[in-house]
């Protein structure tokens, strides 16, 4: 689905209790030519989230209808819908968290980088508006190619003098969800019990799940030993190709959005970390000095103001070390492409 959604204004200042947390905003944006059915579930999930007290839905068309519909649900969030470019400023104003899944989705046979020409410009204009209307917002970037759109956002914010590296997140959580699910199925563990860090970036071989660091609250060690090197290699490949699996299954009608929505609502912008809970760690593609690359996905400790700490990679297996070296050239070139675009166009 081609959409932009932004959320904001909810999480950082509150004590964590729904009654004291400030308001939240979600802004949705879609291309009219490809109406994504998922915008309704997203709006619904956000309206059901007790941490959200204000929900702003934005699109170039159709948002007021969705906003009116969900606004009748008797939960906390006060909902408003904004349509047309002219209303973007109004939608963003006062936001504390902005979520951007803007632009077009992949079709079978395409790479995420094939979306660059369309999505890069959309991301750039949105980030320009963010720097104007909500310069202190935490920004969650979903728009692909994430490996380039996060650097674009950083450059736009730098130019505007509003860049805060602790508040810019490239969303790679789908990779983590996939790594956990595929690993748990192979190891015969309950999926909800497993955690697997995923490092690098969010495209093909730049996605590097660290199965050697997989942990489970139940019966883990003995199972891990039963996974062969071939199993780990196959799980890595499946995780790297997870987005493509969905794109192909949807046969031209979009890419993964429903699994992403789950994260958006429960683990992302609404996370306990941003709302003040301690020790919340998520993997995300962020400004980093963990490797020589300026942006890199690794475990990140969240706090009220965004990133509290970018954590190191831990001990890697030989297979993972090799994967890390192999991903660097592609990730570097995607980052540089984003920086160049932001500064030239």
Q: Known catalytic residues?
A: 202
14 binds ligand LMR (CB under 6 A): no
In the complex, minimum distance from the CB of residue 251 to ligand LMR, in angstroms, rounded to a whole number: 14
Contact flag: residue 101 with ligand LMR (CB under 6 A): no
Q: Is 332 in the site for ligand LMR (CB under 6 A)?
A: no
- Phi-psi category of residue 339: left, alpha or beta, with phi > 0 → left and psi -120 to 50 → alpha: alpha
Q: Which residues are within 8 A (CB) of 325 and not within 5 positions of it... i.e. 6 or more apart?
A: none
User: Of 246 and 274, which has the nearer Cβ to ligand LMR?
Assistant: 246
Residue selected from 24, 177, 256, 339 as contacting ligand LMR according to rule CB under 6 A: 256
Per-residue x/- marks for ligand LMR, 201-240, CB under 6 A? Answer: ----------------------------------------
The least distance separating ligand LMR from the CB of residue 202, rounded to whole angstroms, comes to 6
> Judged by CB under 6 A, which of 47, 76, 106, 299 binds ligand LMR?
106
Report the site for ligand LMR in 125-164 (rule: CB under 6 A). Answer: 144
Nearer to ligand LMR, 106 or 223 (CB): 106
Among 51, 66, 174, 331, the residue binding ligand LMR under the rule CB under 6 A is 174
Our CB check for ligand LMR shows the closer of 21 and 198 to be 198
Instruction: Compute the C-alpha angle 283/271/216, nearest 5°.
Output: 55
**Minimum Å distance from CB 115 to ligand LMR?**
8
Angstrom distances, CA of residue 326 to CA of 160, 200, 334: 35, 10, 14
Q: 297-336 b/e with 16+ CB inside 10 Å = b?
A: bbbbebbbebbbebeebeebeebbeebbeebbebbbebbe
Q: Is 55 strand, coil or helix?
A: strand
Q: Tokens 């920004």 sit at which residue?
A: 139
In 31-161 the beta strands, taken as DSSP E runs, fall at 54-59, 78-83, 97-100, 138-141
Q: Does 246 bind ligand LMR (CB under 6 A)?
A: yes
C-alpha to C-alpha distances, 126 to 29, 60, 89, 165, nearest whole angstrom: 10, 13, 10, 17
- Pick the binder of ligand LMR from 23, 255, 275, 287 (CB under 6 A): 255
Q: Is 247 in the site for ligand LMR (CB under 6 A)?
A: yes
**What are the C-alpha distances in Å from 335 to residues 155, 206, 234, 286, 343?**
11, 12, 27, 11, 13
Assigned token pair, 172: 């790679």
243 touching ligand LMR, by CB under 6 A: yes
Among all residues, whose Cβ is closest to ligand LMR?
A: 243
Residue 5 binds to ligand LMR (criterion: CB under 6 A): no
**CB 285 within 8 Å of CB 147:** yes
Question: Which residues make up the interface to ligand LMR (CB under 6 A)?
Answer: 105-106, 112, 144, 174, 243, 246-247, 255-256
């Amino acid at each position: 689905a081609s959409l932009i959604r932004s959320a904001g204004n909810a999480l950082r200042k509150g004590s964590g209790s729904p009654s004291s947390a400030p308001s939240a905003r979600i802004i949705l944006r879609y291309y009219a030519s490809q109406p994504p059915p998922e915008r309704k579930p997203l709006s619904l999930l956000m309206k059901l989230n007790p941490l959200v007290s204000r929900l702003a839905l934005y699109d170039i068309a159709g948002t007021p209808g969705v906003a009116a519909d969900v606004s009748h649900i008797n939960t906390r969030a006060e909902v408003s819908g904004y349509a047309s470019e002219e209303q973007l400023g109004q939608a963003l104003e006062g936001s504390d968290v902005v979520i951007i899944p803007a632009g077009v989705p992949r079709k079978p046979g395409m790479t995420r980088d094939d979306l660059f020409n369309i999505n890069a410009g959309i991301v750039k204009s949105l980030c320009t508006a963010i720097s104007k209307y909500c310069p202190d917002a935490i920004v969650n970037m979903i728009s692909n190619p994430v490996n380039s759109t996060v650097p674009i956002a950083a450059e736009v914010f730098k130019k505007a003098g509003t860049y805060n590296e602790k508040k810019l997140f490239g969303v790679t959580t789908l990779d983590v969800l996939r790594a956990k699910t595929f690993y748990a199925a192979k190891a015969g563990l309950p999926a909800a019990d497993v955690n697997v860090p995923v490092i690098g970036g969010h495209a093909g071989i730049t996605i590097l799940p660290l199965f050697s660091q997989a942990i489970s609250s139940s019966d883990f060690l003995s199972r891990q030993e039963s996974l062969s090197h071939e199993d780990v290699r196959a799980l890595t490949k499946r995780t790297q190709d997870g987005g493509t699996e969905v794109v192909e299954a949807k046969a031209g009608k979009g890419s993964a959005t429903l699994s992403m929505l789950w994260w958006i609502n429960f683990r992302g912008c609404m996370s306990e970390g941003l709302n003040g809970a301690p020790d919340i760690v998520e993997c995300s593609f962020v400004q980093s000095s963990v490797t020589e690359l300026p942006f890199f996905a690794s475990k990140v400790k969240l706090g009220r103001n965004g990133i509290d700490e970018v954590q190191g990679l831990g001990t890697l297996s030989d297979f993972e070390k090799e994967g890390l070296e192999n991903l660097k050239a592609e990730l570097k070139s995607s980052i540089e492409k984003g920086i160049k675009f932001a500064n030239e166009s």
